Structure 1
């Protein structure tokens, strides 16, 4: 998904924001001018991977105008005699480095089996605005970047926090505009889909093979509708609701923030319910938070106490917001659930009064930084979607969503807040339609309980596509990247090999028990 996750047990400190409702939606952009496919010169970059940098138009309306750079990585097919082609992989975000993620995860066998790697070159890239490609950076140094985000909670509680939250969101937009100029106007997923078609042509493939995870499903669906005749096989794993992401459904869609109208909080709550149920079933020997009582009751008691005053453990203060956001951050990876249970138990058993420790040291000032996940997250999402611009809407929904989905409702309201006042306007973004007839059918995959891209959103996404089929993994967590399923990988692999969809109703189980 899309949602930024922090390391285990580190409270989220990034702002959450969303694209802005500013007038009518621009007409759906189809195919601006055709850019010449650039040459790709691969060079070795350790461990068998190959890397390259290619040029792409900043603005596809002016394909021979100003160019930006795209950084690529390839893991060549291990059986070149039987190679099918290139499988382009987008690991999600937006904002995460595809180059670094393919290097780190390209040989996870439950994600890319040896059989799959034999038949395809795996290629990923830092999408425009990200990492080693032409990137959006809104701060001079990493120290300045981290200082800014460290002061902002995942979501505000109360009018005073809301005012500060809205001001910080608007300040972020100003900083990004001041430092990035017109790059900010050309960072939509439609621009990335056009880059993807440029890369497809550059590697010599006549049709696209693609594996998109989380936000990468939105890029894939955008490509499928901009270039429907060029689709060979698309796997969309952890799917966004495409209409919900762009505009929302019906006349009231535009009056809600992105994750509220996609009902992401419901997906978080359903996955957290799985955490609590499985923790209780595992018992204290395997899940620390099951010790001495029902985990659901203990969590209610813990959060009620944190609403009154922060809980302090080992000199670190945990507010209500930081506890909720930490749970949310760790639900996508079941591998982290046992450690999350340990931390919740520590918080639950913390004394009523404790001494705060010294504030952690900030990074020292330095050169321009590489990791720009958060800036790129907003720069792309704010370009893609239309959202309310009136902060009063967010304040009102923050309260009502808390009642509708306890604990997690406000996350969906405030997750994209900077987009309400985002200072860029992308005239070539794609807002639909999403049902153009593609040259081949599309496989949509989703875990039954996914906190970031809920199953109900994948069901809606599949219905929005002209030729989509939903395939379900009976597991909890975010995408096949974090929920290994040998059965599920085999189904995805066979579709990529043959183009044949699994039979309707076929499901696969996840391999692991989080509390085994």
Structure 2
């Protein structure tokens, strides 16, 4: 969507605004009377005009400042979607939902997932309008686009080098990652300094005002927990209820502890590799116990995995898919398949593919040709724009090369994923890197509910506990399952606990846990 321009501030004010926008002043200004960020309060409340947009949903567009230091300057558009409360007479207010990523469309995800009972039960949907939005940089909102056309984008990502499985693949991967950062600067450089989550938290407060809620009710999933933590510290007295589901180590993600912000990439600081390894161990254990219900269960599953991984390291493996087509997997592709553990309902299919790969792995495959999926949205560009703006990372390629070796030794097979996952951030324009630097522990007007799976490949439980320790008032509920957040790990128990908190403010007991509705390899 286009930028919209309003009259500029006076010259002196504009100079100060630009200084803040370029990182020359602190990310937050003086606080308001209730201790909140003053920049959001100075911005005008957007007017929302809701219109039906199929299947019971309503859609609207909000205009918010590109630069909050210049609240009446250039405006950007945020696309919103709402599923109105089904019991208006007993409606409490609006539940804002951020599905994480960052990068995927919140508008599309709410349309797809609003009626998932294990995520938003009938009782919850009766009491709240569910509202999600595409954050700045994303899809239907004012978006970061690093290519001139969709065709150019699809062709570019289709030939992007895969994650290097050894040192030989690193130069090409480094070059491509830098090229992506350069393209984003060329195509969207005017947006990049303002696409960070500090500004998204300010956007949320404007949206809260726009729907008429005195305080925020918020459900953040995955990266949405990072945004929620920033909001809680910028607007600590405006919290009615705030759920974090699949939670991060917030300081670890933003700037790292100690000197980690300049020595370790974000996923390594979060020990995502360790989370994947723990969850993969759970995958193998449950697969072995499931017997015929898991296609990979024959024999010693640990030995089979080690054999498959080593064979893939030696040469690509070609398999015949159930539909008769053929697919070729490099070592990196096999590791990514094994580490794709966020959705437990997909574990059976993953196990079947691993079994096909194992059976075919003794046959020398032809060289892997470049391949990739077409990207219809801008989620990759938005991911980089937001994540790279939100976090400090090392900028020396040699740091990544050394870490790839040491992390592979520490976490076999999966260590490199945490090292290389955000490689373009090493080359991101310096003026666009503006992480929230704290504080993280401001007392909030209501306690925060944190939910995390026991084995989460994306937001490990250890990181969630670190994040809780950084917050002033938070309570942990552990879901005794494997996978990423209750969006994918179905737990009626967890939904009931979340519902009681969101509706009545009742937290689960200290040390509470919840079971899951079904194990990944149970019969359908």
TM surpasses 0.5? yes
Instruction: Note the C-alpha offset of 1:78.
Output: 0.6
1:251 positional shift: 3.2
Specify the alignment match of 1:213 in structure 2: 221
Residue in structure 2 matched with residue 511 of structure 1 by the alignment: 517
CA contact (8 A) 1:98 1:124 kept: yes
Say yes or no: does 1:324 pair with 2:324.
no
Aligned to 1:227: 235
TM norm structure 2? 0.89
Is residue 286 from structure 1 mapped to residue 284 from structure 2 by the alignment? no
Q: How far has the Cα of 1:160 moved from its partner?
A: 3.0
Greater Cα offset, 193-202 or 244-253: 244-253
The alignment status of 1:434 with 2:440, answered yes or no, reads yes
Residue 431 and residue 515 in structure 1: after superposition, are their counterparts in 2 closer, same or farther (change >3 A)?
Answer: same
Match of 2:33 in 1: none
Q: Distance in 1 between matches of 2:489 and 2:475?
A: 20
For the residues of structure 2 that align with 1:383 and 1:39, how far apart are their CA atoms?
28
CA 1:448 to 1:312, structure 2 compared with 1: closer, same or farther past 3 Å? Answer: same
RMSD after superposition = 1.9
Match of 2:506 in 1: 500
Superposed displacement of residue 142, structure 1: 2.6
| Correspondence for 2:363 | 352
Number of residues paired by the alignment? 485
User: What is the rounded CA distance, in whole Å, between the counterparts of 1:358 and 1:411 in structure 2?
Assistant: 21
CA distance in 2, matches of 1:294, 1:276: 10
Distance in 1, Cα, partners of 2:334 & 2:56: 41
Report the equivalent of 1:12: none
Q: Is 1:155 the counterpart of 2:163 in the alignment?
A: yes
CA distance in 2, matches of 1:212, 1:257: 23
Relative to structure 2, which stretch is displaced further, 30-39 or 382-391? Answer: 30-39
Which digits, 9 at most, give the CA deviation of each residue in 1:54-84, with x for residues without a partner? 1000000000000000000000001111111
Contact 1:154–1:325 (CA under 8 A) maintained in structure 2: no
Which residue of structure 2 aligns with residue 412 of structure 1? 418
In 2, distance between residues paired with 1:498 and 1:90?
Answer: 21
* Unpaired stretches in structure 1, ≥5 consecutive residues: 1-23, 364-368
| Comparing 381-390 and 151-160, the one that deviates more | 151-160
* Deviation, structure 1 residue 353: 3.0
Partner residue in 2 for 1:4:
none
Higher relative contact order (CA 8 A, sep 6+): 1
* 1:343 maps onto 2:342 in alignment: no
Match of 1:13 in 2: none
Q: Return closer, same or farther for 1:277/1:153 CA change in 2, 3 Å cut-off.
A: farther
Aligned partner of 1:17 in structure 2 is: none
Alignment correspondent of 2:137:
129
In 2, the alpha carbon distance for the partners of 1:432 and 1:405 equals 30
Distance (whole Å) between structure 2 residues aligned to residue 484 and residue 140 of structure 1: 40
In structure 2, the CA distance between the partners of 1:189 and 1:361, relative to structure 1 (3 Å rule), is: closer
Deviation of 1:161 (Å): 1.2
Q: CA deviation at 1:410?
A: 0.7
CA distance in 2, matches of 1:137, 1:481: 28
Cα distance between partner residues in 2 of 1:68 and 1:150: 30
Comparing 343-352 and 122-131, the one that deviates more: 343-352
Q: Deviation string for 1:84-117 (max 9, x for gaps)?
A: 1000000011101000000000000110000000
2:251 alignment partner in structure 1? 243
Pairing partner for 1:254 from 246, 254, 262? 262
Q: Is the 8 A contact 1:310 1:317 kept in 2?
A: yes
**In structure 2, distance between residues paired with 1:390 and 1:360:** 28
TM-score, normalised via structure 1 length? 0.91
Is 1:399 the counterpart of 2:409 in the alignment? no
Q: CA deviation at 1:148?
A: 1.9
Kept in 2: contact 1:147–1:362 (CA 8 A): no
1:181 Cα offset (Å): 2.5
- Deviation above 6 Å: which 4+ runs of structure 1? 356-363
Aligned to 1:86: 94
Equivalent position of 1:187 in the other structure: 195
Tell me, yes or no, if the aligned pair for 1:264 and 1:412 is still in contact at 8 Å. Answer: yes
